[in-house]
Structure 1
């Protein structure tokens, strides 16, 4: 089991790096600049991910009267934005991949700093849990190494070696797709007992609703065309498991109940977000109906 766990971790690292590298290969500096200079979009995304969704996690825990372990897991997940699956959901839904990848890295970086105080504030107000203290520098380094660096390398290749970037992009996307499926299967196989143990509770439903509501909030609190708005919704719906896992190990002594609840919340969240992204992809893949020309319109006899 330990070997399987290490192998899954290695595949997860490859998945994150390949996804961000593929996003960088498909990006352009003007498109990325368009996102990062869009002040309303940035402010709305930060408000949705740093304020509204963490409060939503707390609210769902109270609404369903979840156990302390499940409430802690829900708050940890809700307070940790910038999950690497966000860029993947942008690809799945055929959305704004460049904007989604850029926003994901920004949120993950900012979330590394805001995670601990946000969790502490909510758990203190809810009178649950203990003080959460994390190594912010280590979290920032992890985000930079696994997300920012591969994205930047791909972006630089696209700018200065465009033919190479275009030829490498399909391979990077394929690696991302394959490792994505392996990670999903590994999460299910490695945590199925924890998920089964939660079937009698409302934890899975709370995780599902959190991701669904986050998708809607991220979409509504965004600017630009529909592809960009739903991409921001996808980024908001999947959270960053790294800080949450670190907090459980440091502040909650790897309590099995909290770990199991965390796995259930993350998996139920993906179960909500993936079908939404797939549905959007199908709608965008459907060709537009050809314009109908009626011979009775009175212009059919006039040649072009």
Structure 2
């Protein structure tokens, strides 16, 4: 089982880096400038992901009366925005991949700073009685290494080596797709006992409801055309497991009950978000104009 976890961790790293690299290959600096200069979009995304969704996790856990381990796992997930699956969901739904990847990296970076205070505030108010203390520097370095750097490399290749970017993009996208499926299968195989033990409880329902509600909140609290709004919904619906896993190791001594509940919440969340993204993809049959497509670099034009 240890070997399986090592292999899954390695494939997960490849998936994250390949996804962000492919997103960078499909991005342009003017498009990114348009995202980051859109102050209402940024403020609404921060409000949705840093405030409303953590409160939703608290509320869902309280209303469903979750046991302590499941409640903690749900709050950890809800308080950790910027999951790398967000960029993948943008690709799955044929959404605005550039805006989705850019927002995901931004949320992951800011979330690495806000995660511990947010979790501490909610758990204290809920009278769980546990403090979460994390190495913020390590979280920031992880986000930079696995998400920001591959995205920046792809972006620079798109800017300065267009033919290479065009030729590499299909391969990067294929690696992202294949490793995505392997990660999903690995999550199921590696945690199936913990998930099965939670059948009949409300933990799976809580994760499903959180992801579905987050997709709706992220879509509503966004600006721009529907493609961009639903992309923001997808980014909001999948959370960053890294800080949550670190918190379980440091503050909860890797308790099996909390780890199992975390796996259940993450998997049930994907079970809610993936069908929504797939349905949106089927409804989008008209390709976007060159330069604003869903992640595929347009054909090179002569000056």
Q: TM above 0.5, one fold?
A: yes
Between the two proteins, the alignment pairs up a number of residues equal to 287
CA-atom RMSD in angstroms: 0.8
Question: Matched residues in 1 for 2:211 and 2:25: separation?
Answer: 28
Question: Matched residues in 2 for 1:81 and 1:185: separation?
Answer: 23
Deviation at 1:200, TM superposition (A): 1.5
Aligned residue in 2 for 1:237 = 237
Could you tell me which runs of 5 or more consecutive residues in structure 1 were left unpaired when the two chains were aligned. Answer: 288-304
Question: Matched residues in 2 for 1:37 and 1:6: separation?
Answer: 40
Deviation at 1:129, TM superposition (A): 4.0
Equivalence map 1:150-299=2 (5 Å): 150-285=150-285
Aligned residue in 1 for 2:301 = none
1:87 matched to 2:87? The reply is: yes
SS at structure 2 position matched to 1:285: coil
- Which whole-Å deviations, capped at 9, do the CAs of 1:92-149 have from their partners, x for residues lacking one? 0000000000000000000000000000000000001411000000000000000000
Aligned residue in 1 for 2:57 = 57
Aligned residue in 2 for 1:291 = none
Question: Matched residues in 2 for 1:22 and 1:129: separation?
Answer: 43
SS at structure 2 position matched to 1:181: helix
1:74 matched to 2:74? The reply is: yes
Question: Matched residues in 2 for 1:286 and 1:21: separation?
Answer: 25
Runs of 4+ in 1 over 3 A off after TM superposition: none
Q: Larger Rg: 1 or 2? A: 1
Aligned residue in 2 for 1:2 = 2
Could you tell me which runs of 5 or more consecutive residues in structure 2 were left unpaired when the two chains were aligned. Answer: 288-303
Q: 1:27–1:98: 8 Å Cα contact kept in structure 2?
A: yes
Question: Matched residues in 1 for 2:38 and 2:286: separation?
Answer: 30
Report the TM-score, using the length of structure 2 for normalisation. Answer: 0.94
- CA 1:129/1:254 → structure 2, altered by over 3 Å: closer, same or farther? farther
Q: 1:91–1:97: 8 Å Cα contact kept in structure 2?
A: yes
Question: Matched residues in 2 for 1:43 and 1:286: separation?
Answer: 30
